[in-house]
Structure 1
Amino acid sequence: MIANKNTSEDKIIRLVLIIFLTFMASLVGYAVLSLPESSSNLQELVAKNIDMSGVSNPVTAVLLNFRVYDTFLEMVVLLVALLGVWSIKEVPIKSMSDFENPVLDTLVDILVPFSILVSIYLLWVGAHAPGGAFQAGSVFGAGLVLLMLSGRQPFLNFNGLALHFALVISVTMFITISIYSLFVSGELLKYPLSQAGSIIFILEGMATVSIGLTLTLLFHGIYTKEKSK
């Protein structure tokens, strides 16, 4: 009886999820189909205002200045995704390697520092060339995942204050800059022109740390759950 009850509840939950996801997919499809066929030349608009952004890379100007609200919400979504994984089952961080591998250890010793250097370069170059926080954070996270897979322990534990602070530092910085810009310029996330470049670099630096750690912990949570099944 209990097994049948659980099966029925699972079917109901799945049905509700299917209906909800179908509804959301329909909304997204309707929104896409409702877009105008021709829009204003956004490239020219960005190029015309690039000097007001604080950077010379148009992609960075859009993501960290002109449409910075979108980037802020993306960071929030990434954090919520990690909280969702943790809420299902909190998994203690532990070694993922059950055997010693000198070749892997040597490779990790070379690649992890190199990934950190590449991450720093991508962060720095993002102001005037392809790069930026998301690319830098992804490379940084890949280095941490490799470190974890080799049996190393890059973090203390999930309850560590420093780890939690690093995960939310990007969202916290966005909120702080929002409040600061509200007092200085009268609008949320409207940077003073003389400080725009520095603010963007700070936001990207904090985002790089949060993105790298979040992606690593998302991988760790899913990987550990799969192994425990």
Structure 2
Amino acid sequence: MKRILAVTLPLLASMALVLLLGASLWSIAGSQTPVNLPELLAGKMNESGVNHPVTAVLLNFRSYDTLLEIAVLVIAGITGISMARTASLEDPELRTSDSLLYALQRWFIPLMLLLAGYLLWAGADRPGGAFQAGAVLAGCGVLMRLGGIPLGFLRPGLLLRVGLGLGFAVFLLVAVLSAMAGEAFLAYPPGMTKPLIITIETVLTFSIAMVLLALFVSAPVNDAGAPGEDDS
């Protein structure tokens, strides 16, 4: 009986949630007239503080979504670290000393750092932004780790915690201060929109890179002597 209830109750709760969401979507679709979103966005671009529509949507008009996305990334990073098998994420036994990779690092790492900086700078006016720049920075960190370059900030401690949560903390702080200044939550004060968006994107770049890199280095390493998934 207990096993039946353990299966039935979550199933009924899930069905009720699906029905509730369906009813909400049906009421919204029936009560609102169709909206031309590209035209609406074009008419609001002057208020966005940036010149690229994607950045305007992600960090202004739909900044709630982006804030929650960053929260999910931070939670994923913390979870990955907590499940890591090694005592330290900077385990020297997992590095390699490949001379070819080391030679490539001398060319690729400076170029990747420049590319990350460009993507961050370009995000306000053209394709780019914090997510793209953070991914490139994380790739740079992966290359450094594989090549044997020590990444001291990955050791469990204050620096790692600050790096993981700084982007979300700054984003949330701006939202709260905006509300305290008389604006709505995540509604930037007039004249401060672009500086605040640039500040948020800058700190998000480093936090996103830290989260992605932490997830990479905390992933379990397969034993070379163990049979792979394709082995029978």
The TM-score, its normalising length taken from structure 2, stands at 0.79
Task: Report Cα offsets for 1:71-120 as digits up to 9, x if no partner.
Answer: 0100000011112222334531213234x322110101211121111011
Identity of counterpart residues, as a percentage? Answer: 33
**What is the CA distance between 1:155 and its match in structure 2?**
2.5
Q: Does 1:209 align with 2:212?
A: no
Deviation at 1:157, TM superposition (A): 4.3
Cα distance change on mapping 1:81 and 1:104 into 2, 3 Å: same
In the other structure, the counterpart of 2:54 is: 59
8 Å contact 1:155–1:163 — kept in the other structure? no
The reply to whether residue 97 of structure 1 matches residue 95 of structure 2 is: yes
- Equivalent of 2:64 in 50, 62, 69: 69
Q: Deviations over 1:110-157 (max 9, x none)?
A: 111211110110000000100000011111101101111112112344
Could you list the runs of 5+ residues in structure 1 that have no partner in the other structure? Answer: 1-11
Residue in structure 2 matched with residue 7 of structure 1 by the alignment:
none
C-alpha distance 161-113 of structure 1, shift in aligned 2 (>3 A): same
Q: For 1:166 and 1:157, how far apart are their aligned partners in 2?
A: 9
2:74 corresponds in structure 1 to: 79
The counterpart of 1:173, out of the listed 132, 157, 170, is: 170
Residues 131-189 of structure 1: CA deviation (Å, up to 9, x unaligned)? 00001111110110111111211234432312211111101101210121012233111
Equivalence for 1:200: 197
Aligned mates of 1:103, 1:189 — CA distance in 2: 48
Q: Report the counterpart of residue 136 of structure 2 in structure 1.
A: 139
Pairing partner for 1:115 from 105, 112, 115: 112
Higher helix proportion, which one?
A: 1
**3-state SS of the aligned residue for 1:185?**
coil
For 2:44, the aligned partner's letter is: N
1-side partners of 2:108 and 2:52: how far apart? 28
Q: CA RMSD in A?
A: 2.8
Structure 2 stretches lacking a partner, 5+ long: 227-232
How many residues are paired up?
208
Instruction: Determine the C-alpha separation between the residues in 1 that align with 2:41 and 2:175.
Output: 22
TM-score normalized with structure 1 length: 0.80
Distance in 1 of aligned mates of 2:172 and 2:82: 24
Equivalents in 1 of 2:18, 2:212: separation in Å? Answer: 28
Question: Which 4+ stretches in 1 moved above 3 angstroms?
Answer: 34-39, 226-229
